[in-house]
């Protein structure tokens, strides 16, 4: 990795929305944060006031960076995202202005992959449901546990997306004796798993779908009702990508009607709002978009962000470039 030592003078970095302390605290020591969300005069006036000195926007995966914002910053050179997903950044507007965009690269990959495997194991073996059974005192009341899970080994697992995270999940899940397959925009010649050209075909030939592709206009609701019905009554859906990749309303209906067996959800369409129907389902495991969050992965992304920020100001090549 490029040397990430701090430059001598604190350079200005625009922050549009608050960042996690794990990220902000080490970065604020090395760069001058211009916090638009704290501006008393309003955001537009703040951007106008600092427009001539802003070269970089630092943002999370929850921060919209739209064409209007980009147009207000004539000297903007780069948008650095501390997330893997960049779906809230207007990439077309960035291309038009020759503004570069970077993301978290592989900083979160292994920990997110571990979490995806954990969700899959939990749904299949009914771990959270059994935990709730014990916590409610039902076991000590001499009742037999009704939560019989199913083996993970031998299941057919289809990956929607096979980037860094998807490839890591596939490798880990394959070690349980699962039969792996995948769909992506194009077949990967060096991948040993079976390729299906459409999500519908992938669902028809698998017991589990793991959703971890990027969110774009084309992939919004890539898992729709037809896909869920193709997966079938014994099917399981795991989503660690982005909430809108799944048609959430149809997922609720399919689960309520027994048209699929279960789901593990770390992301949702309207976070932090979660469909209330999920709360009463013991075959659904819910998680608050926390798959990538470990001290180790946050340390990785801080190191990467510092390197990219330094490289922007030093006019060196960027790492983890998206655009």
Kindly state whether residues 115 and 30 are assigned to the same domain. Answer: no
The rounded Cα 320 to chain-centroid distance in angstroms is 16
Say if 243 falls within a structural domain: yes
Average pLDDT over residues 246-271: 98
Q: What is the structure's pLDDT at 254?
A: 98
Kindly state whether residues 117 and 229 are assigned to the same domain. Answer: yes
Answer yes or no: is pLDDT of 42 > 60.
yes
Kindly state whether residues 301 and 282 are assigned to the same domain. Answer: no
Give the residue numbers spanning the domain of 159: 109-286
**What's this model's pTM, rounded to 2 decimal places?**
0.92
- Determine the 3-state secondary structure of 32 from DSSP: strand
Answer yes or no: is pLDDT of 177 > 70.
yes
Q: How confident is the model at residue 117 (pLDDT cuts 50, 70, 90)?
A: very high
Catalogue the active-site residues: 242, 271, 289
Q: What is the structure's pLDDT at 2?
A: 40
The CB density around residue 92, as the number of other CB atoms within 10 Å, is: 10
Handedness of CA 85, 80, 47, 34 (dihedral sign): positive
Answer yes or no: is pLDDT of 317 > 70.
yes
Check which CATH number belongs to the domain holding 90 and give it: 3.40.50.720
Kindly state whether residues 58 and 125 are assigned to the same domain. Answer: no
Answer yes or no: is pLDDT of 1 > 60.
no
Average pLDDT over residues 303-322: 97
Kindly state whether residues 116 and 22 are assigned to the same domain. Answer: no
- Give the CA distances from residue 103 to residues 198, 211, 317, 320, in Å, rounded to whole numbers and listed in that order: 27, 19, 14, 6
- Determine the 3-state secondary structure of 306 from DSSP: helix
Kindly state whether residues 84 and 55 are assigned to the same domain. Answer: yes
Kindly state whether residues 301 and 162 are assigned to the same domain. Answer: no
Q: Is the peptide bond before 272 cis (omega within 30 degrees of 0)?
A: yes
Kindly state whether residues 166 and 272 are assigned to the same domain. Answer: yes
Q: How many domains does the chain have?
A: 2
Kindly state whether residues 65 and 129 are assigned to the same domain. Answer: no
Answer yes or no: is pLDDT of 49 > 80.
yes
The percent of residues in the chain predicted with pLDDT above 90, rounded, is: 94
Kindly state whether residues 20 and 136 are assigned to the same domain. Answer: no
What span, in angstroms and rounded, lies between the C-alpha atoms of 104 and 113?
15
Q: Tokens for 230, please give them.
A: 């193709």
Q: How confident is the model at residue 142 (pLDDT cuts 50, 70, 90)?
A: confident
Kindly state whether residues 123 and 258 are assigned to the same domain. Answer: yes
Say if 5 falls within a structural domain: no
């Amino acid at each position: 990795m490029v040397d990430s030592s701090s430059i001598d003078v604190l350079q200005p970095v625009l922050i549009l929305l608050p960042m996690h302390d794990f990220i902000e605290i080490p970065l604020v020591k090395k760069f001058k944060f211009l916090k638009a969300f704290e501006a008393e005069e309003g955001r537009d006036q703040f951007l106008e006031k600092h427009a001539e000195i802003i070269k970089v926007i630092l943002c999370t995966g929850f921060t919209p960076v739209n064409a209007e914002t980009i147009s207000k910053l004539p000297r903007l050179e780069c948008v650095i995202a501390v997330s893997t997903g960049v779906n809230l950044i207007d990439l077309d507007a960035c291309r038009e202005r020759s503004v570069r965009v970077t993301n978290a690269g592989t900083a979160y990959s292994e920990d997110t992959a571990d979490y995806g495997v954990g969700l899959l194991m939990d749904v299949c073996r009914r771990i959270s449901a059994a935990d709730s059974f014990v916590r409610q005192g039902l076991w000590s009341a001499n009742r037999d546990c009704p939560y019989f899970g199913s083996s993970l080994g031998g299941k057919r697992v289809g990956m929607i997306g096979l980037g860094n995270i998807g490839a890591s999940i596939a490798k880990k899940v394959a070690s349980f004796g699962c039969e792996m397959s995948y769909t992506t925009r194009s077949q990967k010649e060096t991948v040993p798993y079976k390729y299906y050209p459409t999500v519908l075909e992938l669902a028809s030939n698998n017991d589990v779908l793991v959703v971890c592709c990027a969110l774009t206009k084309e992939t919004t609701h890539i898992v729709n009702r037809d896909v869920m019905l193709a997966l079938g009554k014994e099917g399981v859906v795991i989503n660690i990508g982005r909430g809108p990749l799944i048609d959430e309303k149809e997922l609720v209906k399919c689960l309520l009607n027994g048209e699929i067996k279960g789901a593990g959800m770390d992301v949702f369409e309207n976070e932090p709002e979660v469909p209330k129907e999920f709360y009463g389902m013991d075959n659904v495991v819910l998680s608050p978009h926390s798959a990538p969050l470990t001290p180790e992965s946050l340390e990785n992304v801080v190191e990467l962000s510092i390197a990219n920020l330094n490289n922007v100001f030093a006019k060196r090549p960027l790492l983890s470039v998206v655009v």
